[in-house]
Amino acid sequence: MGRRKRAGFGDVTTSHAAFGRLEARCPSCRRPIGPGDSPTFVRSLDGSPAQLATMRCKRCSAMLTVRFDDSKETASDQAPAGSA
């Protein structure tokens, strides 16, 4: 019987939209992660959409903490102030 690979840990910061498009990646093995990888969303007390999720990478078994920062997505989609 072979040895089991030791699981790592990682933190990922992304937006909900980028997570849905599989743009987020595991910091350990660089595999794309997304909703199909069965994340467990952490509920917020005020009933707003979840801003935190935990999951395991299917390739390297790393425990991942995904923090959703939707302000990052809207700032990058807007045109610069100097363009007209």
Domain that holds residue 54: 9-74
Asked if residue 3 belongs to a domain, the reply is no
Assess if residue 2 is contained within a domain. no
Report the SS3 class of residue 10: strand
In a domain, 40, yes or no: yes
The one-letter code for the residue type at 17 is A
The Cα 12–Cα 65 span in angstroms is 6
pLDDT tens for the chain, 84 residues: list them. Answer: 666 666 789 999 999 999 999 999 999 999 999 999 999 999 988 888 889 999 999 999 999 999 999 886 544 444 444 544
Number of domains in the chain: 1
In this structure, the number of other CB atoms found within 10 A of the CB of residue 64 comes to 22
Contact assessment for residue 65 and residue 80, using Cβ atoms and an 8 Å cutoff: no
Instruction: Please tell me whether the overall predicted TM-score, pTM, comes out greater than 0.85 for this model.
Output: no
